[in-house]
Amino acid sequence: MTTPSQTVGPFFGYGLPYEGGSELVPGWRPDAIRVRGRVLDGAGEPVPDALVEIWQADGSGEIPRRPGGLVRAGHDFSGFGRCPTDAAGGYWFGTVKPGPVGEGAPYIAVLVFARGLLKPVFTRLYFPEDGAAHGTDPLLAEVPAERRATLIAEREGEREYRFDIHLQGERETVFLGF
Amino acid sequence: MTDPHPPYLSPGYRSTVLRAPARELVMPKLGPDSVELTSPVFGHQELGRLDNDLTRQHSGEPIGERIIVTGRVLDGAGRPVPDALVEVWQANAAGRYPHLADQHPAPLDPNFTGAGRCLTDADGRYRFVTIKPGAYPWRNHHNAWRPAHIHFSVFGTAFTQRLVTQMYFPGDPLFPFDPIFQSIPRQEDREKLICRFDMDTTVPEWALGHQWDIVLGDTPMEA
């Protein structure tokens, strides 16, 4: 019964991105973090026509149940963000670090759509400072040790993280089969 | 149940070759967790009143065949999904997108952008008024043409149900030649992407109507 997926194609740029899509919270908030990275193909080349979406809990680990993902009012936290990649394959989000939900380590759910992807890839972004919690995270426990690092962002500065997404190749990001 | 989706790697569609993940996907034993089992909430106040009418976004009327496209968003159990965000984008009647990367030498229409969105009603129903898009060439292989289509993006009740796809029109002669349409392994699944002309949706003296239901994957808790 399920409707099959098709690629987002190269021309979504005037249809899906919207103003403020990357900025879940304004940068002046003391708890704001910044995540940036690149989407790369199997040859290590940037993917300039990808769309990255994130979905996450708020700082206290509560899953947002309120609108505000499309129109950023500057106060409520909607938990959803969307960013098209630029010519260098780059994307960024201004958000808050999610609190832990349940037993697992805190993470941001990440979806990537692109020309050449007939269906999206689904992954998780974990934070480098949560090493202890990673040890008991149920999902990370199922990921082969040598690939686990692909799910953990790098710290780039005070409240700044880097998370590159390799669609293919030696450092292919772990994608989830939901 | 057989997977209705295309595989990542579908070499006839050349861009998949370097972009398809090659490693096996990780299937967590516990399945998605509570973040992945929920989805963003969107509100009517975030959308414009005319966002679902692609023929009224400019001062004049767009060129082309005016159509109505409507249907329901359903979950894997056939239940309607209300308040689902449905976004669409498409080429104009001449097969041209208002995108810098689109080099097809067909005219742009100053009265047609080709993007719209709406939230489904309590019955899971969406409705768009638009112009029938044209077919257009692409550079995948010699003499490659995409069948006319409207791109759809849909949110379900779980982030794992997120769907981006394309809706096609009945009887398109380009179907057998299109590697994107053909990337879906089974013919019966391909046909789920083809809308149905519907006289009851058609508005006399105004626009032809088409029905197309969108069925999202199982709500993962039930999988």
Residue B151 annotated as catalytic: yes
Query: Per residue in B4-27, is it b (16+ CB within 10 Å) or e — as a string?
Result: bbbebebeebebbebbbbeeeebe
What would the pLDDT profile of B147-160 be if each residue is shown by its tens digit?
999 999 999 999 99
Q: Is B188 on the interface with A (CB under 8 A)?
A: no
Q: Which residues contact A92 (CB under 8 A, 6 or more apart)?
A: A22, A34, A35, A36, A37, A83
Candidates B26, B136, B152, partner chain A, best to mutate (most A CBs within 10 A)? B26
User: Domain A12-166: which CATH class?
Assistant: mainly beta
Say what the pLDDT of residue A74 is: 75
For residue B27, what is the DSSP state? -
Say what the pLDDT of residue B220 is: 57
Q: Cα angle vertex B185, ends B93, A8, to 5°?
A: 40
Query: Per residue in B72-105, is it b (16+ CB within 10 Å) or e — as a string?
Result: bbbbbeeebbebbbbbbbbbbbbbbbbbeebeee
The share of chain B scoring above pLDDT 90, in percent, equals 91
CB-based contact A99:A106 (threshold 8 Å): yes
Catalytic residue among B66, B104, B151, B162: B151
Residue A147 burial (10 A CB sphere; 0-12, 13-18, 19+): middle
How close does chain A come to B33, measured CA to CA in Å? 9
C-alpha B146/C-alpha A23 separation (Å) is 35
Are the beta carbons of A142 and B26 separated by less than 8 Å? yes
User: Which residue type does A141 have?
Assistant: A
pLDDT at B9 over 90: yes
Candidates B3, B14, B17, B19, partner chain A, best to mutate (most A CBs within 10 A)? B19
C-alpha B129/C-alpha B127 separation (Å) is 7
pLDDT-derived band at B223, boundaries 50, 70, 90: very low
pLDDT at B29 over 50: yes
Residues in chain A: 178
Domain edges within chain A: 12-166
Candidates B39, B81, B164, partner chain A, best to mutate (most A CBs within 10 A)? B164
Say what the pLDDT of residue A102 is: 87
Residue B146 annotated as catalytic: yes
More confident residue, B97 or A178: B97
Give the H or E element holding residue A134: helix A131-134
Say what the pLDDT of residue B222 is: 42
Q: Is A172 on the interface with B (CB under 8 A)?
A: yes
- Predicted TM-score (pTM) above 0.90: yes
How close does chain B come to A16, measured CA to CA in Å? 7
pLDDT-derived band at B186, boundaries 50, 70, 90: very high
Say what the pLDDT of residue B62 is: 98
Q: Which residues contact B119 (CB under 8 A, 6 or more apart)?
A: B42, B44, B47, B83, B84, B85, B86, B126
CB-based contact B165:B152 (threshold 8 Å): yes
Catalytic residue among B13, B126, B136, B168: B136
Catalytic residue among B146, B168, B190, B210: B146
pLDDT-derived band at B171, boundaries 50, 70, 90: very high
The arithmetic mean of pLDDT across residues B12-40, rounded, is 95
Q: Average pLDDT by consecutive 10-residue portion of chain A (178 residues)? A: 96 95 94 98 98 98 92 87 98 97 95 98 98 95 96 97 98 95
What would the pLDDT profile of A41-53 be if each residue is shown by its tens digit?
999 999 999 999 9
Q: Which of residues 27-66 of B touch A (CB under 8 A)?
A: 27-36, 38-43, 45-47
Most distant pair of Cα atoms in chain B: their distance: 56
pLDDT-derived band at B30, boundaries 50, 70, 90: confident
State the ipTM, two decimals.
Answer: 0.97
The arithmetic mean of pLDDT across residues B11-24, rounded, is 98
Are the beta carbons of A42 and B165 separated by less than 8 Å? no
pLDDT-derived band at B100, boundaries 50, 70, 90: confident
Extract the runs of DSSP E, i.e. beta strands, from chain B. Answer: 66-74, 85-90, 115-119, 125-131, 136-138, 144-146, 149-154, 163-168, 196-197, 208-211, 214-215
Say what the pLDDT of residue B1 is: 63
pLDDT at B143 over 80: yes
Are the beta carbons of A69 and B46 separated by less than 8 Å? yes
Say what the pLDDT of residue B219 is: 64
